[in-house]
Amino acid sequence: QVQLVESGGGLVQAGGSLRLSCTASGVNFRLGIMGWSRQTPGNQRESVAIITPVGSTTYDDSVKGRFTISRDIAKNTVWLQMNSLKPEDTAVYYCAYRNGATTNWGQGTQVTVSS
């Protein structure tokens, strides 16, 4: 059974940084894709960063150069380091694990960036 638990969200001023953590169980980092997505009220969830089984990373254009996704396979943990945060980064951030046609989601963590 896949379980993803996010932490690290909070309130930060524009220009600041936050580091989100996702502790996973029931997953295999060498088989599936780990990622972070975000969602604001009334909008669809959008992917911001992914890391593949071989460690390749991809970012949405809106966060390139500011966000970094990383992982520790031994600890079954994925992080999202967010720097130079902007008010438009405000959202609920979700950790995700995708293996084939199945995607599992965490419960989400709120990130609020004040101007």
Q: What is the pLDDT, as a whole number, of residue 105?
A: 98
Q: What is the pLDDT, as a whole number, of residue 91?
A: 98
Q: What is the pLDDT, as a whole number, of residue 40?
A: 97
Q: For residue 65, what are the contacts with CB-CB under 8 A and spacing of at least 6?
A: none
Q: What is the pLDDT, as a whole number, of residue 74?
A: 94
User: What pLDDT tens digit does each residue of the chain (115 aa) get?
Assistant: 999 999 999 999 999 999 999 999 999 999 999 999 999 999 999 999 999 999 999 999 999 999 999 999 999 999 999 999 999 999 999 999 999 999 999 999 999 999 9
Q: Break the chain down into helix, strand, coil percent, rounded to 5.
A: 5, 55, 40
Q: What is the pLDDT, as a whole number, of residue 3?
A: 97
Q: What is the pLDDT, as a whole number, of residue 103?
A: 96
CB atoms within 10 A of CB 74: 7
Give tens-digit pLDDT for 9-40.
999 999 999 999 999 999 999 999 999 999 99
